[in-house]
């Protein structure tokens, strides 16, 4: 599609008005899937053609990367559901409807809720304004108990050419207002709009405590002589996250082939996040019990070092939580009571992290240390599954929890 709203395939394919909302692409009938991946398009986008190399809008045409990703993850024994979210986001008032980001975020959250998304780990892959929509949805979800599980289960967000501080193109379109009135979404995307700066500041300040990982790709090729989202706006400024330059324009960056860096990078990001599907608090609970039990060889020196750092913090700030760790390590109760002790410890760690940024950072550091250990990462899925049994109420002896 062109940057001024005319679809490149508009002469060959009629617009499908029934492709809004949350649409399944791959693996969504599986009740045992490890997680959900939601693709969210941007301004004047489409739930199918935004991601399709031939701009196809037919939901029966599965020859595109959303479906390929599901297949290849399945080969890695990571069963997921791939969804695509469609919504109206016209550039001009005469060409269609558009909702403000705040309102559209409530729409997305309710779709996720009614589809029971939030019961499993969740990753968003976003293009352009879709990234702003997801950020707004997460910010809004903090204020409502019904949606807080969505935040808790969100493991990562991929931003493809997202204008975190606005787009010069939006400002240009606004200046054409005498010829065609821009939509509310175009107005929201003006460069350095205060609302966008506020949203991005919130994201930078909160994303670490929310333990949501970020991956960023940005375009380097112009469309019709205009770089729609420049490298500065594409970078939300997250600590230790380096944006990746892609030699594509604003539209083609969202339509990768299997050999393209965007596809390979997204696949690697998903494998990394969903292979470690246990929550950071759950992982930390396992590590600090091992550390307290002097089992450093089993989990690796770097991991046990981070575990000991968290234990030191807890001793000074949350001594009751240390008592819970000791109770788990003692292993003197029945299997059922051990499982209950483990659940209580995980809940205490989650509560501690939500109220103390230093503890939250220490818990996240343990997860990062485990991910970096080549000797443990291959067995991480088994670890998560074992701990999941405890969290869900099963009876599992703590002696069975290990990385081998």
Identify the band that residue 303 occupies on the pLDDT scale cut at 50, 70 and 90. Answer: confident
pLDDT digits (tens, 9 = 90+) for 318-366: 999 989 888 888 766 666 677 788 888 888 998 898 889 999 999 988 8
Write down the pLDDT at residue 285: 87
Residue 246 shares a structural domain with residue 300 = no
Q: How far apart are CA 292 and CA 308, in angstroms?
A: 8
pLDDT digits (tens, 9 = 90+) for 75-127: 988 899 999 999 998 776 666 677 889 999 999 999 999 999 988 899 999 99
Task: Specify the pTM.
Answer: 0.71
Read off φ and ψ for residue 234, nearest 5 degrees.
-75, -10
Q: Is 233's pLDDT higher than 60?
A: yes
Residue 271 shares a structural domain with residue 286 = no
Residue 300 shares a structural domain with residue 357 = yes
Q: What is the CATH number of the domain that holds 71?
A: 3.40.50.1820
Select from 93, 91, 84 the least CA-distant residue to 46: 84
Q: How far apart are CA 218 and CA 26, in angstroms?
A: 26
Whether residue 349 contacts residue 279, with contact meaning beta carbons closer than 8 Å, is answered with no
Q: Give the ranges where 63-100 is alpha helix by DSSP (H).
A: 65-75
End of a domain among 248, 275, 302? 275
Residue 257 shares a structural domain with residue 292 = no
Residues 6+ positions from 7 with CB-CB distance below 8 Å: 1, 15, 49, 55
Structure-token pair, residue 56: 């196809």
Residue 199 shares a structural domain with residue 346 = no
Residue 119 shares a structural domain with residue 59 = yes
Is 384 domain-assigned? Answer: yes
The sign of the CA dihedral 108, 150, 131, 248 is negative
Average pLDDT over residues 179-208: 85
Domain that holds residue 335: 280-400
Parallel/antiparallel/unpaired status of strands 154-160 and 80-86: unpaired
Write down the pLDDT at residue 398: 37
Residue 332 shares a structural domain with residue 362 = yes
Range with lowest mean pLDDT among 170-184, 247-261, 264-278: 170-184
Residue 172 shares a structural domain with residue 314 = no
Structure-token pair, residue 46: 């489409």
Is 152 domain-assigned? Answer: yes
Q: How far apart are CA 371 and CA 275, in angstroms?
A: 9
Is 14 domain-assigned? Answer: no
CA 76 to chain CA mean position, Å:
20
Residue 152 shares a structural domain with residue 269 = yes
Whether residue 314 contacts residue 321, with contact meaning beta carbons closer than 8 Å, is answered with yes
Is 7 domain-assigned? Answer: no
Average pLDDT over residues 374-380: 47
Identify the band that residue 278 occupies on the pLDDT scale cut at 50, 70 and 90. Answer: low
Q: In the chain, helix, strand, coil percent, each to 5? A: 50, 10, 40
Helix (H, G, I), strand (E, B) or coil at 32: coil
Mean pLDDT of the chain: 83
Write down the pLDDT at residue 320: 92
Is 6 domain-assigned? Answer: no
Identify the band that residue 397 occupies on the pLDDT scale cut at 50, 70 and 90. Answer: very low
Average pLDDT over residues 199-205: 97
Rg over alpha carbons for the chain, rounded to the nearest Å, is 22
Select from 282, 281, 252 the least CA-distant residue to 389: 282
Write down the pLDDT at residue 34: 86
Residue 39 shares a structural domain with residue 91 = yes
CA 252 to chain CA mean position, Å:
22
Write down the pLDDT at residue 61: 96
Q: How many domains does the chain have?
A: 2
Residue 169 shares a structural domain with residue 183 = yes
Whether residue 364 contacts residue 310, with contact meaning beta carbons closer than 8 Å, is answered with no
**Could you tell me which residue, 298 or 52, shows the higher pLDDT?**
52
């Amino acid at each position: 599609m062109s940057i001024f709203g005319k679809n490149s395939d508009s002469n060959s394919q009629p617009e499908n008005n029934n492709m809004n909302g949350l649409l399944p692409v791959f693996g969504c009938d599986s009740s045992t899937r490890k997680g959900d991946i939601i693709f969210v398009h941007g301004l004047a986008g489409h739930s199918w053609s935004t991601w399709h190399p031939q701009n196809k809008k037919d939901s029966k045409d599965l020859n595109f990367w959303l479906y390929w990703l599901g297949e290849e993850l399945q080969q890695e024994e990571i069963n997921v559901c791939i969804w695509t979210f469609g919504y109206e986001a016209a550039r001009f008032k005469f060409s269609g409807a558009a909702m403000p980001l705040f309102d559209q975020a409530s729409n997305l959250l309710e779709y996720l809720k009614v589809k029971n998304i939030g019961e499993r780990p969740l990753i968003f892959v976003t293009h352009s304004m879709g990234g702003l929509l997801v950020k707004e949805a997460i910010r809004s979800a903090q204020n409502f108990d019904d949606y807080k599980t969505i935040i808790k289960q969100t493991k990562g967000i991929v931003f493809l050419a997202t204008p975190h501080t606005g787009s010069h193109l939006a400002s240009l379109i606004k200046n054409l207002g005498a010829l065609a009135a821009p939509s509310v979404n175009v107005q929201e995307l003006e460069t350095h709009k205060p609302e966008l700066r506020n949203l991005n500041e919130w994201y930078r300040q909160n994303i670490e405590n929310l333990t949501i990982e970020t991956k960023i790709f940005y375009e380097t090729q112009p469309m019709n002589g205009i770089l729609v989202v420049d490298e500065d706006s594409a970078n939300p400024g997250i600590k230790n996250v380096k944006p990746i330059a892609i030699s594509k324009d604003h539209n083609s960056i969202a339509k990768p082939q299997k050999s393209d860096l965007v596809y390979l990078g997204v696949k690697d990001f998903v494998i990394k996040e969903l292979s470690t599907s246990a929550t950071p608090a759950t992982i930390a609970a396992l590590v600090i019990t091992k550390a307290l039990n002097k089992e450093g060889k089993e989990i690796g020196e770097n991991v046990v070092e981070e575990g000991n750092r968290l234990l030191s913090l807890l001793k000074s700030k949350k001594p009751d939580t240390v008592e819970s760790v000791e109770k788990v390590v003692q292993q003197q109760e029945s299997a059922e009571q051990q499982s209950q002790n483990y659940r209580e410890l995980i809940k205490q760690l989650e509560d501690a992290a939500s109220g103390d940024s230093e503890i939250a950072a220490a818990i996240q550091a343990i997860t990062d240390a485990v991910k970096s250990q080549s000797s443990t990462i291959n067995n991480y899925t088994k670890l998560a599954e074992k701990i999941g049994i405890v969290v869900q109420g099963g009876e599992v002896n703590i002696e069975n929890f290990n990385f081998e």
